[in-house]
Amino acid sequence: MINSIIYSRVSSESERQDTQRQTSELKEYANRMGYNVIKVYEEKVSGFKKNEQRPIFSKMLEDIKTNEIDKVLVWELSRIGRSVLQSLQNIQTLHDLKVGIYIKNFNLETLNDDKTPNSLSMFMVQILFSVASMESQMTLSRLKSGYKNHIKKHGSKSVGRKKGNIDSDETILNRHSDIVKLLKRKISIRNVAAITNKSTNTVLKVKRLL
């Protein structure tokens, strides 16, 4: 019997995301393959966080060291780490413990049945991580460029308000129309803050009003 655990993660910046779908489909896969699911770990935390800032992931790694686990089932590559380097380090940590990773969206197994690294899968993993990282950086760069051009053409309204002044919801939304537009394009809170050069608290406030 192959002992497996499930790790599901969603970004804390997106309230619409839920670990339930990831966990449900990974359970279905485990049942289909005849795996024994020992435990399910679900976490709501930004993918940009380090391992030590991801308590559930850290707990999972500790539990693996004291239990006989063969596989960790994850929904996609981005669940594993915040960067290419960290993700590969986490994979190597698991491999050192003779634990493989199944990545559902690409149907990849990082270890063979004899616990040796699957060379082809690891080659694909490195390429996919690199491409995803590059696309993320390019997208953020394009969005920043577009925002700067918008400011040059239309100008920017003052950010913030005088102490003691209470604005209506409509006034706040109008003042931060740039944030509204980006949020409606499903861009993450972190990226909206970076693009508009406004605090994440301001972005969160606007998101709540929407």
Average pLDDT for residues 20-33, to the nearest whole number?
93
124-130: long-range contacts, CB 8 A cutoff, minimum separation 24 = 125/77, 125/88, 125/91, 126/84, 126/88, 128/77, 129/77, 129/84, 129/87, 129/88, 130/84
Task: List Cβ neighbours of 156 (8 Å cut-off, separation of 6 or more).
Answer: 178
pLDDT computed for residue 72 by the predictor = 97
Q: What is the pLDDT of residues 141-196, one digit of tens each?
A: 776 677 677 666 766 554 444 444 456 778 888 888 888 888 888 787 877 877 77
Bridge partners, 108 (sequence order): 103
- Name the one residue in this structure whose structure tokens are 């686990």: 69
> Domain boundaries in the chain?
3-121, 131-209
pLDDT computed for residue 184 by the predictor = 84
CATH 2.40.50.140 fits domain 3-121: no
Instruction: Tell me the residue type at 138.
Output: M
Nearest CA-CA partner of 193 in 170, 173, 174, 176? 176
Average pLDDT for residues 77-103, to the nearest whole number?
85
pLDDT computed for residue 159 by the predictor = 40
pLDDT band at 19 (very low <50, low <70, confident <90, very high): confident
Higher confidence at residue 93 or residue 134?
Answer: 93
pLDDT computed for residue 48 by the predictor = 53
The pTM (predicted TM-score) of the whole model is 0.60
| pLDDT over 80 at 68, yes or no | yes
What is the side-by-side order of every strand in the sheet holding 36-44? 36-44, 3-10, 71-74, 100-103, 108-109
CA distance 178 to 196: 7
Tell me if residue 144 falls in helix, strand or coil.
helix
Angle between helical axes of 189-196 and 177-184 (0-180°, round to 10):
140
| pLDDT over 60 at 16, yes or no | no
Give the Cβ contact number of residue 104 at 10 Å: 16
pLDDT band at 110 (very low <50, low <70, confident <90, very high): very high
